[in-house]
């Protein structure tokens, strides 16, 4: 049996598809996911099962990310969710953009969509895939540029 938290085959496969800079979205139950040319992992069972935050927590247990983005409206109109997300994310700050950017720019950039059963207002999270900077820059003679120094020093919780 596989070691680790994620047992879902499709979710494991989707994570394995991600390369540096690729975009993955954890979506609420009502997000309009495009159907052509993207990977969709539908985990929704019923209302709020699994929740958006549970899905995100599960994802990051086995996924390296370098950016996390949510709608500005999330911060304004769903502050408890927003704070819980900020408490969960430790690799980088949680960025906010207008919800229209989530629906236009980030939705069209996403390679993978993970649909939760969450019913959270503006409960969609954009993850930009990163690299294991410590592994890359541990090679003899490799020197991390300044913008990678925090990533090289990162330690898992």
Strands, sheet with 23-27, edge to edge from the N-terminal-most edge strand: 39-42, 110-115, 23-27, 125-129, 65-71, 94-97
pLDDT in tens, the chain (157 residues): 777 899 999 999 999 999 999 999 999 999 999 988 999 999 999 999 999 999 999 999 999 999 999 999 999 999 999 999 999 999 999 999 999 999 999 999 999 999 999 999 999 999 999 999 888 898 899 988 888 888 888 887 7
Domain boundaries, the chain: 22-131+144-152
Distance CA(133)–CA(71), nearest Å, equals 28
Q: Write the DSSP assignment of 81-108 as a string of letters.
A: HHHHHHHH--SSPEEEE-HHHIIIIIHH
Instruction: Respond yes or no: is residue 82 known to be catalytic.
Output: no
Torsion of Cα atoms, 19 then 22 then 28 then 32, to 10°: -130
What are the Cα distances from residue 123, in Å, to 55, 61, 106?
A: 11, 19, 14
Contact between 90 and 65 under an 8 Å Cβ cutoff? The reply is no
The structure's pTM equals 0.94
Classified by CATH at the fold level, domain 22-131+144-152 comes out as RbsD-like fold (3.40.1650)
Q: Which of 20, 30, 62, 132 is catalytic?
A: 20
């Amino acid at each position: 049996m596989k070691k680790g938290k994620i047992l879902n085959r499709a979710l494991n496969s989707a994570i394995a598809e991600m390369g540096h800079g690729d975009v993955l979205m954890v979506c609420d139950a009502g997000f309009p996911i495009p159907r052509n040319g993207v990977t969709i992992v539908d985990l929704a069972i019923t209302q709020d099962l699994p929740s958006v935050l549970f899905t995100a927590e599960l994802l990051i247990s086995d996924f390296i990310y370098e950016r996390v983005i949510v709608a500005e409206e999330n911060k304004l109109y769903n502050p408890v969710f927003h704070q819980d997300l900020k408490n969960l994310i430790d690799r980088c700050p949680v960025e906010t953009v207008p919800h229209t950017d989530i629906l236009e720019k980030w939705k069209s950039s996403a390679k993978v969509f993970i649909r939760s059963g969450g019913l959270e207002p503006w409960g969609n999270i954009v993850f930009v895939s990163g690299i294991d900077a410590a592994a890359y820059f541990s090679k003899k003679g490799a020197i991390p540029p300044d913008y990678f120094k925090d990533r090289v020093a990162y330690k898992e919780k």
